[in-house]
C-alpha cells in the first residue's frame, strides 16, 4: 500500500476585509481584546468597522488586521493585528499588506501602539523592521479612569499602564 506524502504547509493568503468577514473579524477582536472597541493613544476605535485585511490558510480564516488613516492620509495606524494560526507567517503577511496599503494611499508613516505587557508583540514588530518611536507612559491608567473594565493585569501577569508606539516609514 502506498501512502501519499503529507501535504506541504500552505502559506497564508491575504485580501481586504469584506462584509462577509464581519463575524470572523469580530471573533478575533473579542478573543484578543475582549471587545470590538479598541483604545490607542487615548482614542477609541470601533475596530469592527475599520478597513483592513484578513489572512486565510487553505481557505480558512487565519487572522485579521484593521487600519485607520490619520492627518489626511499622511499616516496610517494599525489598530489591531490578530493571528489564529501562529508561527505560519500570518502576522507578517498581514503587516506587509498594511505597509503596502499605507504606501498606496501615499502615507509617509505607518505606526501602531502596543501595551507594555505585550513583550511578544514588541519582539515581533522589531523582527519585522519596525522601530520604537514613543513611550506613552501612564496613558492606559488615564483611559482606565473612564473605562473601568479595561483590565489591569495583562499578558504574563504584567500590569498594563503604558502604550509603546512602534513605526515604519514607508513614504
Ligand atoms: C503577534 C502576532 C500577530 C504574531 O502572529 P504570527 O502569525 O504568529 O506571526 P508570524 O507567523 O508571521 O511570525 C511569528 C514567528 O513565526 C515564524 N514563522 C513564520 N512562519 C513559520 C513557519 N512556517 N514555521 C516556523 N516558524 C515560522 C516567524 O519567522 C516569526 O518568528 P521571528 O519573529 O523570530 O522571525 C500573534 O502572536 C498574535 O495574534 N498575538 C495576539 C494578539 C496581539 O498581541 N497582537 C498584537 C497587538 S499590538
CB 75, CB 109: distance < 8 Å: yes
Question: What mean pLDDT comes out for the span 80-99?
Answer: 98
How far is ligand 1, taken at its centre, from the CA of residue 109, in Å?
22
% the chain with pLDDT above 70: 96
CATH for the stretch 13-169: 3.40.630.30
SS3 at position 143:
helix
Express each pLDDT in 108-158 by its tens digit: 999 999 999 999 999 999 999 999 999 999 999 999 999 999 999 999 999
Q: Which residue has the cell 511578544?
A: 120
Ligand 1 pocket at CB < 6 A: 9, 32, 81-83, 86-92, 112, 114, 118, 120-121, 124, 127
CA 146 to chain centre: 23
Q: For position 2, what pLDDT does the model report?
A: 57
Alpha-carbon distance of 102 to 112, in angstroms, equals 13
Domain spans, the chain: 13-169
Which numbered atom of ligand 1 lies nearest the CA of 86? 8
Query: What are the tens digits of pLDDT across the range 45-75?
Result: 999 999 999 999 999 999 999 999 998 889 9
- List the one residue out of 127, 134, 89, 91 whose CA is nearest residue 109: 134
Of 54, 68, 91, 140, the residue with max ligand 1 atoms within 8 A of its CB, to mutate for a pocket test, comes to: 91
For residue 131, list its beta bridge partners.
Answer: 167
Amino acid at each position: 500500500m502506498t501512502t501519499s506524502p503529507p501535504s506541504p504547509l500552505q502559506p497564508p493568503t491575504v485580501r481586504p476585509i469584506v462584509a462577509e468577514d464581519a463575524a470572523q473579524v469580530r471573533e478575533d477582536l473579542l478573543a484578543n481584546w475582549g471587545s470590538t472597541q479598541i483604545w490607542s493613544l487615548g482614542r477609541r476605535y470601533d475596530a469592527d468597522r475599520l478597513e483592513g485585511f484578513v489572512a486565510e490558510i487553505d481557505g480558512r480564516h487565519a487572522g485579521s488586521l484593521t487600519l485607520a488613516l490619520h492627518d489626511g492620509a499622511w499616516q496610517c495606524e494599525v489598530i489591531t493585528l490578530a493571528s489564529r494560526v501562529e508561527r505560519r507567517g500570518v502576522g507578517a503577511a498581514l503587516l506587509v499588506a498594511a505597509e503596502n496599503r499605507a504606501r498606496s494611499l501615499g502615507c509617509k508613516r505607518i505606526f501602531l501602539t502596543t501595551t507594555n505587557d505585550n513583550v511578544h508583540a514588541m519582539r515581533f514588530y522589531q523582527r519585522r523592521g519596525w522601530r520604537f518611536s514613543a513611550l506613552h507612559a501612564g496613558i492606559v491608567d488615564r483611559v482606565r479612569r473612564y473605562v473601568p473594565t479595561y483590565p489591569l493585569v495583562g499578558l504574563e501577569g504584567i500590569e498594563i499602564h503604558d502604550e509603546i508606539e512602534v513605526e515604519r516609514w514607508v513614504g
